[in-house]
Structure 1
């Protein structure tokens, strides 16, 4: 672990987006597993289904609770994996990491799909979306209580709001700002790949490998001709 690199605009945006994602994932994970949503009841509380709207049937309540908890569990698992990805890009990824030949070739083959900030967007936005579904179901299920007294809402509920807002609203805005400010990375990667491919030691290794392949092919062909002679 080398620590954050903040030498240019690309690395600074990567660090900012990683921090936003990490904070959002932490808030979502905290909100999912703590009970302070509404009157000290949370997503996993057995009292979660009390005092709901009278128009709800027992079947509707059961389905809503199941969906609410399934979405919350999916969001938690995604927040853990996405948080680890944020830590890696914030602390371990440098401007030289992407210059290695294997990474450069992968980026050129896949366009910008493997760019760190694009990967963060593709993983963090679904994380926030799944948690938002769970949060929305909980809010809709208890909308009557919330309207009666909004002060019943606890810290877990509001931290969850901040979490999905960071991932669904703030992160895409920062990502779009990065695309307007930071120059395109693919032309530099193509130049790096061409320089690597045309380097003397690489050219020598490539010619040596091609010569070995030709000699092996000739030897194999001669051996087949020798074995075919009666």
Structure 2
């Protein structure tokens, strides 16, 4: 484990997204498993409903099952997203991926993936599934909530904060990163081309061309790749 890296723009954006992800995942996890949504009830509370139309009762039952299923899915995704956020915040640095083979793979694929891209995908998935659960619960208890907002508990409001962090705040941070930090592929291609020019065809690789491990610092611009 290392101290968080803040030496360049991409590192600061990555750490910011990790903090947003951890905060959102903690809020989602707390909301899913605590009973402080509405009065003393939550996702796992058996709400008392008067018997009426079987069709209506069936709809209510299906809604309860749906919000629980989406809640469990969002919790499982929150675990993986939180783990990724910790890894990228405490163990990932700009020196993590600096291999020559990875450089060639990125150039052949004509695209680069970054830690922030992976975080965005997992955070959006977590926030989306929890938003479904939160919305179904809100719709199911709309009349009670509309009559008195004070009956809503900490789980409900922290859950709302969780999906706002994961869906809204994370998207804003990611878009800002894409606008501020340039793509690395253009600079990477130029660096590799200049490296190839230094290689003389008439000379062997070991004699005329620097070994990739030696010259790798020339191949990588300020922004590094995120996946090996």
Q: TM-score band, normalised by the shorter chain?
A: 0.7 to 0.9
Q: Which residue is 2:31 aligned to? A: 31
2:219 matched residue in structure 1: none
Alignment of 1:58-97 (within 5 A): 58-97=57-96
Distance 1:42 1:107, change over 3 A: farther
CA contact (8 A) 1:17 1:117 kept: yes
Per-residue deviation, 1:192: 5.9
Q: Distance in 2 between matches of 1:180 and 1:166?
A: 20
Shift of 1:180: 1.1
Structure 2, unmatched stretches of 5+, are 210-228
Cα distance in structure 2, aligned partners of 1:126 and 1:146: 27
> 1:14, 1:89 within 8 Å by CA — same for their partners in 2?
yes
Separation of aligned partners in 1, 2:41 and 2:124: 27
C-alpha distance in structure 1 between counterparts of 2:192 and 2:87, whole Å: 24
CA RMSD of aligned residues (A): 2.9
C-alpha distance after superposition, 1:34-63 (max 9, x if no partner) = 11000110101123x548xx9981100111
Partner of 2:14: 14
How far has the Cα of 1:126 moved from its partner? 1.1
Distance between the aligned counterparts of 2:25 and 2:155, measured in 1? Answer: 13
The residue aligned with 1:141 is 140
- Contact 1:125–1:167 (Cα < 8 Å) also in 2: yes
State the distance in 1 between where 2:100 and 2:77 align: 30
Maintained 8 Å contact 2:3/2:90: yes
Work out the CA distance in 2 between the residues paired with 1:105 and 1:17: 28
Instruction: Provide the aligned length of Structure 1 versus Structure 2.
Output: 203
2:206 corresponds in structure 1 to 204
Is residue 126 of structure 1 aligned with residue 128 of structure 2? Answer: no
Q: Highest Rg: 1 or 2?
A: 1
Q: Which residue of 1 aligns with 2:41?
A: 41
Distance 1:87 1:196 in 2: 36
User: What residue is the counterpart of 2:159 in the other structure?
Assistant: 160
The structure carrying a bigger helix percent of its residues is 1
